[in-house]
Amino acid sequence: MDLTGARWRTSTRSGNGECVEVADNLPGVVGVRDSKDPTGPVLMFAPAAWRAFVAVAGRPTA
């Protein structure tokens, strides 16, 4: 997949910048990569799967 138009962003809560970057402007997929290795591999998720992951990951734990 061509990633040249990807707009990568990190969480506003990522203090020192060592985290994942997400590109959610790609057609039909959400790209996720390691911010320390921007030329490394990119994981691709269906947008619905990414939304489900973020919803669960953001829930408070007991």
The pLDDT score that the predictor gives to residue 46 is 98
The pLDDT score that the predictor gives to residue 14 is 74
For the chain, the average pLDDT equals 90
DSSP letters, the chain, are: ---TT---B--TT-TTS-SEEEE--STT-EEEEETT-TTS--EEE-HHHHHHHHHHHTSPP-
38 vs 21: CA distance, rounded Å: 9
pLDDT, mean of residues 5-14: 87
pTM: 0.83
The pLDDT score that the predictor gives to residue 61 is 79
